[in-house]
A and B are shown apart, each in its own frame.
Chain A
């Protein structure tokens, strides 16, 4: 079936009153959690997983898609109106966005962020609809060796490329893989790491793990360092842009989109690198370079577009290969599995209507987000005034409820607390959370592909590189692992390079 007619069918499914309602719920919830500190889309999807078991999978995924995109919109509101970005992908937005807000141009900053997100999200979703089937066509020809290699690449790349310390990234990955091992071995039926506890035989529920790490760990961590003096929220009216703002925004939107989508689609893309690249590019190309650092609108328009395009890009490997590269995609992948849907290249064939309804709902969600974000921005900003005791008590309350309702076992709450303490420790000592979650989710599938591969080659390890794609991927893996060494040689060859980060980059803004 061709893309256009499938997509039209998707729209027909997504626009039924029930599904449309879930799209609305999704974008409203998503924006709210994006605005609220301490909450993110990944955690929200994880919390809602048990609640959605009663729903049609299609409705549930339409809601998840709304939460995913909504979180991106909401995150920009926070970073513009407060000078403390909640997510790493909105660090760059905060640099110029907060300066604009302080100079009384919060309305324009919010407008260029929202409209830019809409433009980038729409183009990104179109690219997703076009690219994903092509990737699938290519992917169905791949065998286990290539899949194993791709998963290794995704895990290592996310661990090695993102975050400030590779060592701590690998430590988090190891912990995640160990958590993923708990339970019955699927081939021999033996129990691993269950310590004779029958309750552990089915493994740790991914909902419990994700909620513990994201929600409980975060709530405990914030509680330990709760800001006693309330943050100053810059008051804002209805977002709008003048003619000049439009003129200065539209090119950064398109360039940001061009940076964001491919990086999001790569196994280790993430949104940090493209937002940063977009910022640097806009600064270089701007006719008003002197405004950068004092609230240049290009510095908000470009990175925000890059951020949203990356969000769309991330869904390409998630839907086409079953390969998540950010936390929300990872939890959505776990959601597929818990609905009994096998993620991977067969997804488009076996669950075509669901996937196309999901993609169609992304277009709808994007439009809804523009509508609810432009006129209602002052209302969303009010959410930032929610008393913190209620906010974090609420996170713990709903985390408990969500984790308990999976199996109705108090034992799950004990695991929730233990892993929540682990999440606290990771935040304290700078271990990134994403490699752990990906390790838990991809680890078991990685092992499955490894065993399948060697089963086909009758135990000969050469089976691992029996496909040309696999060999190519291992070369990339080697480059990523050896990157620091290569960089050092490069620096030696060309001394005196300029530092990459601008002096007032958001990294320094964390502490104030």
Chain B
């Protein structure tokens, strides 16, 4: 990207422009998708399937532009607080990324290895990512939760979560 120093300095610390970009992209996507729809003329449906998507696309694009202007003028969205949220320190990616990793591991494992294994990995991995260091105790809790929910769903609700590798044992 070729950006003059002034532009670069203006962009610095304005990560919120990414939100405007996302809104704009979503708007264009909704517009293009709606544009590709067929609109057979019909008396029973004069509005057709495209009108509302067009309105939504318009809303998104307008918001994107206004937000970009707002951010460039120094506007800032207020980050959400909460009981356990400490906004004084910057985002801690060393916690978030392993957490997302545990989540993805579960997605990859759930159909093949089954819920008991993937759920254990998910809970244990999440606890570890969030700073739990009682490896054995955390592992036992993870396993117990997964097994309990597996049988709870099966016996209590009639929902059969995948047994995966442990098919026949459970």
**A interface list, Cβ under 8 A from B:** 37-38, 50-51, 53-54, 78, 82, 84-86, 164-165, 167-168, 170-171, 173-175, 177-178, 181, 185, 187-188, 190, 192-193, 216, 218-228, 231, 387-390, 392-394, 396-397, 400-401, 404-405, 408, 410, 413-414, 417, 425, 427-431, 443, 446-447, 450-451, 454-455, 458-459, 510-511
Contact yes or no, B29 A193, CB < 8 A: yes
Interface string of B73-93 (1 = CB under 8 A from A): 001111111111111110111
CB pair A227 B45 closer than 8 Å: no
Residue ID in chain B nearest A82 by CB atoms? B83
Bound-complex Cα distance A425 to B20 (A):
12
Residues of A within 8 A of B138 (CB): 389
A82 to B83, CA, bound (A): 8
User: Quick one: given A192-B37, A223-B99, A393-B127, are A430 and B80 in contact (CB under 8 Å)?
Assistant: yes
Cβ contact within 8 Å between B56 and A174: yes
Is the pair B103, A84 in contact by a Cβ cutoff of 8 Å? no
Instruction: Judge whether A388 and B56 touch: CB under 8 Å.
Output: no
CA distance A86 to B40 in the complex (A): 50
Is B70 a contact partner of A167 (Cβ separation < 8 A)? yes
Quick one: closest A residue to B47, CB to CB? A451
Most buried by A among B16, B76, B80, B107: B80
Number of A-B contacts (CB under 8 A): 238
What's the Cα separation between A455 and B44 when bound, in Å? 6
Contacts of B131 in A (CB 8 A): 226, 388-389
State A110–B163 Cα separation when bound (angstroms).
Answer: 46
Residues of B within 8 A of A510 (CB): 81, 87
Whether B129 is near chain A, meaning CB under 8 Å from some CB there, is yes
Distance between A3 CB and nearest chain B CB, rounded to angstroms: 36
Apart from A38-B84, A190-B49: 17 A-B pairs, beta carbons within 8 A = A164-B78, A171-B19, A185-B49, A192-B34, A221-B80, A223-B129, A226-B95, A226-B131, A393-B123, A396-B99, A400-B122, A408-B161, A410-B110, A425-B19, A430-B79, A451-B47, A454-B47
Say yes or no: is B38 at the interface (Cβ < 8 Å to chain A).
Answer: yes
Bound CA–CA A155/B85 (angstroms): 29
Would you call A417 and B100 a contact (CB within 8 A)? yes
Task: List 26 A-B residue pairs with CB atoms under 8 Å apart, sorted by A's residue number.
Answer: A37-B83, A54-B157, A54-B158, A84-B81, A85-B83, A164-B78, A165-B78, A181-B56, A188-B39, A192-B34, A218-B82, A219-B99, A221-B80, A393-B122, A393-B126, A397-B119, A397-B126, A397-B145, A400-B119, A405-B159, A408-B159, A427-B79, A430-B79, A430-B80, A510-B87, A511-B87
**Residue from the list B52, B63, B87, B162 in contact with A225, Cβ < 8 A:** B87
B23 within 8 A of A: yes
**Known contacts A37-B82, A170-B59, A429-B19, A192 near B130 by CB under 8 Å:** no
Complex: how many Å from CA A228 to CA B53?
45
CA distance A168 to B67 in the complex (A): 8
Decide if A227 touches B84 in the complex (CB within 8 Å).
Answer: yes
Max count, chain B CB within 10 A of own CB: residue among A223, A430, A451:
A223
Asked if A225 and B89 make an inter-chain contact with CB atoms under 8 angstroms apart, the answer reads: yes
- Decide: B23 and A392 in contact? CB cutoff 8 A: no
Q: Is B30 an interface residue (CB 8 A)?
A: yes
A192 to B33, CA, bound (A): 7
How far does the alpha carbon of A427 sit from the alpha carbon of B91 in the complex, in Å? 12
* Nearest CB in chain B: distance from A65 CB, A: 21
Nearest-neighbor residue (CB-CB) of A187 within chain B: B45
Shortest Cβ distance from residue A444 to the other chain B in the assembled complex, whole angstroms: 9
Interface set, chain B 35-77, CB cutoff 8 A to A: 37-40, 43-49, 51-53, 56, 59-60, 63-64, 66-67, 70, 75-77
CB distance from A436 to the nearest CB of B (A): 12
Contact among A165, A390, A430 for B132, CB-based, below 8 A? A390
Smallest CB-CB separation from A510: which chain B residue?
A: B81
Q: Return the contact of B104 from the options A228, A392, A397, A417 (Cβ within 8 A).
A: A417
Tell me whether A429 and B77 are in contact in the complex, defined as CB-CB below 8 angstroms, given that A188-B45, A223-B92, A392-B130 are known contacts. Answer: yes
